[in-house]
Amino acid sequence: MGNASQTGFSAADLFTTRDGLIQIAVISQNQVKKLFKALSTDDSLEQPKFKTEAARVEYSDHVREFMADIFKTNTTHHWTAKLREARVPIEEI
């Protein structure tokens, strides 16, 4: 999208929703777990490309695409409310 984190963390970026944009600032393993649980994809954290911080950095394009596809399925309001409830750092753009 163009606002990727300089850390290389794929879960700290700007994402397109069905009707707008959201900024996610997830960098710790605990935040990643909360995010994936809120997205109903916490089982994905067992896959090698998602399991560790190092793997998510190495496969950041894959992880980011995975997340981008999910965020496109619903509205900015939906994701903002859902992720705030899960205590995931998010902001509507």
Interval 14-45: pLDDT, tens: 999 999 999 999 888 899 999 999 999 888 88
**Residues 6 or more apart in contact with residue 91 via CB below 8 angstroms:** 22, 23, 25, 80
- Residue 1 located in a structural domain: no
- Residue 31 located in a structural domain: yes
CA distance 39 to 35: 6
- Residue 6 located in a structural domain: no
The CA angle 91-18-39, to the nearest 5 degrees, is: 65
Which domain does 36 fall in, by range?
A: 12-92
Give me the number of domains the chain comprises: 1
The CA angle 37-68-17, to the nearest 5 degrees, is: 95
Interval 70-92: pLDDT, tens: 999 999 999 999 999 999 999 99
Q: The pTM is what?
A: 0.83
CATH of the domain at 44: 3.30.1540.10
- Residue 3 located in a structural domain: no
CA distance 68 to 35: 13
- Residue 36 located in a structural domain: yes
Angle between helices 29-38 and 76-85 (to 10 degrees): 130
Evaluate whether 17 touches 83 at the Cβ level (below 8 Å). no
